[in-house]
A and B are shown apart, each in its own frame.
Chain A
């Protein structure tokens, strides 16, 4: 017999967003809140990817102190337990079905199959890492090619060393932190390879993870092929021009036994997609309104499955916003469906969340630019908002507040976000 359970709110995913959401729901007085989590790495410890992040840089905004990922997770879990969040760990949500009235999750665990219904659902399933095939690297398929997260799990959860001579592909924060992690364990980090002419990570990480360890950063370089039959023996890289096309005659081979792919994250939205939610091509996550509600009724999204965040604090913040919205709807609140405005992306804007604005409340917008720019001005022409920035970078989310009243006053059915030079 498939076990049937009912909760007020189901939270899918026990990472930063999910735990923050569940805690907030209890604080708001919701009785039955459950976090369903499949934690792939360490039994008994939630927090998504956090437990294996043993470096600092977490929680400056959210907890007002600089913590390691593991500490951040620990704090979140204790807080959630204390306030009475139910945790269904070791459980994997394999199906999501929704109608305008019902939400049903099928989950499986060592106990058996469960069919879990709820009045609202917060989807916080996190992200996965882009694979080597998704960045178009050809060549051979030997042992020794890992994503950054996987290598981190090998070292910091399982205690094994992936290799001796390492090349990191991608200079986002994850790649930079792993380059340093390898250097700290005595490996030789031959290079960090970046396709774009600018680094993908935060400046502080370029300094603290590469410069301090004399690790070369090869900008405007593309990895073309992996060499090695059983184990990686090297990788071939080539310089690219402004159009990201390989420049003839610039191929070179870097000998190494390990290749770490840190080429970005992809929101994990399979369940949402199967359930019919609209997906945004730019973010890879679901399209949401300012309540963080997806196109599925009473299903909210937060964290890296909504938008790839650069700070865990933002994921937690989105979790809390989703919780407030879920509380609102199950307490009888109605999310406005009329006069909803769609956010359109203007000059040098790569993505923006939420994608839909009701104007019923003030909203925090998370925006990423395509290219770095100095002395830029973020403009929302329909409202007349202007925010000046000394510099904007693709690596850093721009977080801005927009007033609901201002949105309400717009007659158009769209709201443009654009970047202008000063």
Chain B
């Protein structure tokens, strides 16, 4: 280890011992190559988080491995999956995780003459962090200065127009309209005379925001001091708005639609996929990763890219590259029906200064499919699988945004939650592993991960070059992808023409979203084409919008299941929501009378 690194570790040790002062009775730490390892015990999960975040905030810390115990910590709930020794593939690069990040990297790599495999334990693309995201392509302006994520967000945002055009995915630069209201500087509100407070809000806050935009290179940011203009842009926002910041680069996508399109394009350009393939370990030679051990067999590779989302830390540990701990941060989102669109056209949020630590309550925004979303919240949870919603979270969102948009009368249609893979240093970790060769971390990609994703993929390409992977551009790379037809977005003449060519276009399966049988069959075929083995209801849902309307599937779920059953040759009751264990039924209708309640199935 060189002298500089040793000195840096010393400095980090000193700083860590300062920030952990009140915990040092029960918590020990080591520092190695700017990674801090924490051991010992905490009183509660909150303390565990506090310890991790305090250490993560120390300058120069590149990763926090937090193994501090807390009372009530659940034992590691990893399922026992048997590894297979069969060789199932030989690649240059294996990407673990088919979320938005893994998909983006796969597609970027498919531009080059190299053999790439994309591996995911789920039956389909985007079934983890990606699917429960509000789809905002952030500008980067709300991110803190000096972080990698901030830079990548600004850069990634600028790449979206071309990306969306090439892939034929829906992307709209709706723009952000961030309100400055009397609630915007709660700490100053009671300390200053009202007129001065309003002056601060109207002139000083916009100035601060605009200066930050200049530093970050976020284009087009504009302060609006005329309340009339704010109201003209968004007529339904609160009356105590003082000014607003317009951020034209803010956009929206459907994250799963994008991830699916990326994988479709990547597969068309030669990437292989391995779904329902769980990584159980790594084969190494001379401290270099040479193979990925999975439940289905061994995949040989020159390099592994770890884009495993919430489980990136687990995967890294399997490779001997334990450099960070992912702590799950839940976000609850309220989804409103399509009639709510009349209340909103921008991403609307209230500015709060100074920014409350870590939480971002989210925003309200329209989606590309024409719904309105409120959220997400940002609540620390101890389980990576905890995507449950609670009344408290729902009330929190309603309280918050009912102030922002008091005349909103949208109908709440669905409540859902996702979990973000946060690291303790609150930044992306994108770099080669420190002590193992052939392993690249792309971890801790939480918000603004989707906005940053195209720039992340470019960065990974540079890292690969640096690691000695030869990247020769493919001559026959096909950049564009034919977008799927969405019946309800087509003009009547085109609809009629489609039906006359194929009557399946005339058979409405989902009434709420007007999705036809042809679209369901297309979705199934597209899933098969990218290597999906288990056709799930969720897979068809994310591709077609079935079950996403007002009835939430009560009219169409069975019709879709019947089509899947027919096309895949499986029993109707075995069709599942999202893979094994989530089948819609337990057997034939007489099964319980024949075999009893407990034994059947």
Q: Contact residues of A with B, CB < 8 Å? A: 1-2, 38, 40-41, 90, 92, 94, 106, 108-113, 128-129, 131-134, 136, 138-143, 146-147, 149-150, 153-155, 158-165, 185-188, 224-225, 229-231, 257, 270
Q: Are the CB atoms of B555 and A40 closer together than 8 Å?
A: yes
Residues on B with C-beta less than 8 A from A158 are 558, 562, 572
Q: Are the CB atoms of A153 and B558 closer together than 8 Å?
A: yes
Residues on B with C-beta less than 8 A from A38 are 508, 511
What sequence of 0s and 1s flags, for each residue 475-503 of chain B, a beta carbon within 8 Å of any chain A beta carbon?
Answer: 00000000000000000110110011001
Residues on A with C-beta less than 8 A from B550 are 128, 131, 270
Instruction: Decide: A138 near B389, CB < 8 A? Known: A110-B506, A133-B413, A143-B584.
Output: yes
Residues on B with C-beta less than 8 A from A139 are 388-390
For the complex, give the distance between the alpha carbons of A147 and B582 in Å: 17
* Contacts A94-B508, A112-B500, A153-B558 known; 16 new A-B pairs at CB < 8 A: A2-B496, A108-B499, A111-B499, A112-B496, A131-B552, A136-B391, A139-B390, A143-B584, A150-B555, A155-B589, A159-B589, A161-B586, A185-B592, A225-B388, A229-B385, A230-B578
Distance in Å: Cβ of A3 to nearest Cβ of chain B: 8
Contact of B587 among A41, A113, A147, A161 (CB under 8 A): A161
B579 sits at the interface (CB 8 A) = yes
Interface size on B, residues (CB 8 A): 62
Instruction: Decide: A154 near B585, CB < 8 A? Known: A138-B394, A185-B593, A187-B592.
Output: yes
B583 sits at the interface (CB 8 A) = yes
For the complex, give the distance between the alpha carbons of A153 and B160 in Å: 44
Q: Are the CB atoms of A109 and B506 closer together than 8 Å?
A: yes
Q: Are the CB atoms of A138 and B390 closer together than 8 Å?
A: yes
Q: Contact residues of B with A, CB < 8 Å? A: 385, 387-391, 393-394, 412-416, 492-493, 495-496, 499-500, 503-504, 506-508, 511, 514, 550-559, 562, 571-573, 576-593, 596-598, 600
Top 7 closest A-B pairs, CB basis? A186-B592, A110-B503, A230-B581, A143-B582, A113-B496, A160-B573, A143-B577
For the complex, give the distance between the alpha carbons of A231 and B576 in Å: 10
Distance in Å: Cβ of B84 to nearest Cβ of chain A: 23
Residues on B with C-beta less than 8 A from A108 are 495, 499, 506, 508
For the complex, give the distance between the alpha carbons of A161 and B588 in Å: 6
Find the A residue at minimum CB distance from B509: A40
Q: Are the CB atoms of B582 and A231 closer together than 8 Å?
A: yes
Q: Are the CB atoms of B572 and A150 closer together than 8 Å?
A: no
Q: Are the CB atoms of B584 and A160 closer together than 8 Å?
A: yes
Distance in Å: Cβ of A281 to nearest Cβ of chain B: 11
Find the B residue at minimum CB distance from A139: B388
Q: Are the CB atoms of B554 and A146 closer together than 8 Å?
A: yes
Q: Are the CB atoms of A129 and B551 closer together than 8 Å?
A: yes
Residues on B with C-beta less than 8 A from A41 are 558
Can you show 28 pairs from A to B with CB atoms below 8 A apart?
Answer: A1-B496, A2-B493, A38-B511, A94-B514, A106-B492, A108-B495, A109-B499, A110-B499, A110-B506, A112-B500, A131-B413, A133-B412, A133-B415, A134-B412, A138-B388, A138-B391, A143-B578, A153-B558, A154-B558, A158-B562, A160-B573, A160-B584, A161-B591, A185-B592, A186-B592, A186-B596, A230-B577, A230-B579
Contact of A131 among B503, B507, B554, B582 (CB under 8 A): B554
For the complex, give the distance between the alpha carbons of A92 and B583 in Å: 29
Distance in Å: Cβ of A374 to nearest Cβ of chain B: 35
For the complex, give the distance between the alpha carbons of A131 and B411 in Å: 12
Distance in Å: Cβ of A274 to nearest Cβ of chain B: 9
Residues on A with C-beta less than 8 A from B583 are 143, 231
